[in-house]
């Protein structure tokens, strides 16, 4: 289930970033830097070789799951 969670969280983050920045964000441009199951948050950070590395701080993706599904939400309204 953790692999599905990471995939879903990265997809949510990429879709939010692509919408915000007007271009498709590559799957390799961001990586998981922290996961806290107790709070239902996973943080994505720009990969060190990404153009975003010096411009975007890590951001949280909210998540929850049940026996069969993973649900994720990336809310980028607080990003500069």
Q: Is the pLDDT of residue 53 over 90?
A: no
Among 35, 38, 20, 11, residue whose Cα is nearest residue 78: 20
Q: Average pLDDT, stretch 53-72?
A: 91
Please report which confidence band the pLDDT of residue 80 belongs to, taking 50, 70 and 90 as the band edges. Answer: low
Quote the CA–CA distance of 11 and 5 in Å, as a whole number. 10
What is the per-residue pLDDT for 33?
Answer: 94
Tell me the pTM.
0.84
What is the per-residue pLDDT for 75?
Answer: 85
Four-CA torsion 24, 29, 33, 36, nearest 10 degrees: 20
* 64, containing H or E segment: strand 59-65
Would you list the domain boundaries of the chain?
2-74
Worst-scoring range by mean pLDDT, 16-25, 36-45, 59-68? Answer: 16-25
Instruction: Say which residue the tokens 């239902």 belong to.
Output: 40
Four-CA torsion 22, 24, 27, 32, nearest 10 degrees: 10
Give me the chain's average pLDDT, please.
90
């Amino acid at each position: 289930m953790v692999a599905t969670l990471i995939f879903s969280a990265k997809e949510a983050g990429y879709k939010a970033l692509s919408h915000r920045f007007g271009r498709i964000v590559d799957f390799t441009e961001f990586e998981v830097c922290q996961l806290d199951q107790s709070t239902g948050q996973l943080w994505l950070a720009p990969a060190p070789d990404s153009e975003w590395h010096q411009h975007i701080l890590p951001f949280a993706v909210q998540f929850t799951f049940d026996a069969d599904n993973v649900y994720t939400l990336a809310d980028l309204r607080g990003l500069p």
